């Protein structure tokens, strides 16, 4: 398995872990941990998309990462409703 595949799997696992934990009530959407997992996971996925020149995923994961970083830097500003 090449490095980009490993990075994409690690990124996906982080994003999915945060999502599953929030759905199970074990992690708040407003928590720094949730935002950090999303920022790191989507950042890895955006990096892989950039390397593979996949514009749809560059947009999706790039915005996901930026919103997650914003939530880390300015907690509570995005709202959680």
Q: In degrees, to the nearest 5, what angle opens at C-alpha 37 toward C-alphas 76 and 28?
A: 45
pTM: 0.87
User: What pLDDT score was predicted for residue 79?
Assistant: 66
Closest to 38 in 3D by CA, of 59, 23, 17: 17
Mean pLDDT value of segment 33-61: 95
Residue 59: CB atoms within 10 Å = 12
Please compute the mean of the pLDDT values over residues 63-80 and round it to a whole number: 86
**Structure confidence at residue 81 (pLDDT):** 52
pLDDT band at 59; cut points 50, 70, 90? very high
In the structure, what pLDDT confidence band is assigned to residue 78 with cuts at 50, 70 and 90? confident
């Amino acid at each position: 398995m090449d490095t980009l595949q490993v990075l994409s799997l690690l990124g996906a696992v982080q994003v999915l872990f945060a999502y599953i934990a929030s759905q199970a009530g074990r992690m708040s959407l407003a928590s720094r941990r949730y935002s950090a997992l999303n920022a790191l996971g989507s950042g890895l996925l955006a990096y892989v998309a950039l390397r593979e020149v996949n514009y749809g995923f560059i947009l999706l994961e790039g915005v996901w990462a930026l919103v997650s970083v914003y939530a880390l830097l300015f907690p509570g500003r995005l709202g959680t409703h």
